[in-house]
């Protein structure tokens, strides 16, 4: 399928590629695959994903922490994640009630300094557009950053 023939723009940004194609591409692309072949495979997957989205009556999106990293919000787990810099119990209610003077500065830093400055990125905007168009019916997320 040629993207130019679809009459609808397709977002070719790296984030959109990952958001739309990651689950199936990992099983298809290999490190030894020539770059041109890999790019063609990505193009094919994007066009197929766009076709499926256009033809769907009820879309659901399931997102995780990765969608907001591009907005400057670090994930909680993994390299560079918030739990590598903060003790997770700081966000537990019992700990906060017992030690508000210790927990509150950490909570303020995480939720106001990190999350408060975040702006929606291309993936967030694409989901919002699908929702505005009436295509996206459900957004399921574990995120608490309020960007979505």
Give the pLDDT confidence of 95-146 residue by residue, as tens digits: 999 999 999 998 888 887 767 777 888 888 888 888 898 889 988 887 666 5
CA–CA dist 14, 19 (Å, integer): 9
Q: Residue 29: what pLDDT? A: 66
Distance set, CA 144 to CA 63, 68, 75, 117, 147 (Å) = 11, 10, 11, 14, 8
DSSP 8-state class, residue 93:
H
- Banded model confidence at residue 11, pLDDT cuts 50, 70, 90: low
Indicate if the pLDDT at residue 26 is higher than 80: no
Question: CA-CA distance, 17 to 35, in Å (whole number)?
Answer: 16
Q: Which helix (H) or strand (E) holds 138?
A: strand 136-141
Q: What is the model's pTM?
A: 0.60
């Amino acid at each position: 399928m040629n993207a130019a023939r679809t009459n609808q723009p397709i977002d070719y940004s790296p984030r959109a590629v990952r958001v739309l194609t990651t689950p199936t591409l990992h099983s298809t692309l290999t490190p030894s695959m020539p770059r041109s072949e890999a790019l063609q495979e990505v193009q094919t997957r994007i066009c197929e994903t766009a076709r499926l989205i256009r033809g769907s009556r009820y879309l659901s999106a399931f997102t995780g922490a990765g969608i907001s990293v591009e907005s400057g919000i670090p994930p909680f787990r993994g390299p560079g994640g918030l739990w590598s810099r903060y003790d997770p119990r700081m966000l537990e209610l019992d700990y906060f009630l017992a030690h508000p003077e210790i927990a509150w500065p950490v909570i303020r830093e995480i939720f106001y300094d990190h999350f408060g400055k975040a702006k929606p990125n291309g993936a967030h905007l694409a989901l919002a557009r699908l929702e505005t168009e009436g295509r996206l019916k459900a957004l399921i997320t574990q995120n608490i950053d309020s960007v979505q």
